[in-house]
Amino acid sequence: MKEAGYIKNKRCADAISLLQSKKLDTGGFPAEAAYYRVFKRQATGCSLVTWGGTNRDRMNEFVTVDALSVLTSATVKR
């Protein structure tokens, strides 16, 4: 909704509140579950990408950047 320009629509209020409730005491946001699959390279056995892992109590940098971007857009006055 942020990218489409509708993040300030009142129908987004519950989602914004839920997102705010997920904020950790450290100021970051966790990746509570993985919604991707890691395929390992056959030759080396290592993944090509590190997504930061999932843990309800530890900040994930990728999720934090997205969450803060959404929350900033939802609260900035235009």
Q: For residue 74, is pLDDT > 70? A: yes
Does 3 reside within a domain? no
Q: Is residue 4 part of a domain?
A: no
Asked whether the predicted pLDDT for residue 48 surpasses 70, the reply is no
- For helices 61-75 and 13-21, the axis angle rounded to 10 degrees is 140
pLDDT surpasses 60 at 22: yes
Rounded to two decimals, what is the model's pTM? Answer: 0.77
Report the alpha-carbon distance of residue 78 to residue 71 in Å, rounded: 14
Question: What is the percentage of the chain residues whose pLDDT exceeds 70?
Answer: 79
Number of domains in the chain: 1
- Distance CA(64)–CA(26), nearest Å, equals 11
* Amino acid type, 65: V
pLDDT of residue 15: 96
Range of the domain at 49: 10-75
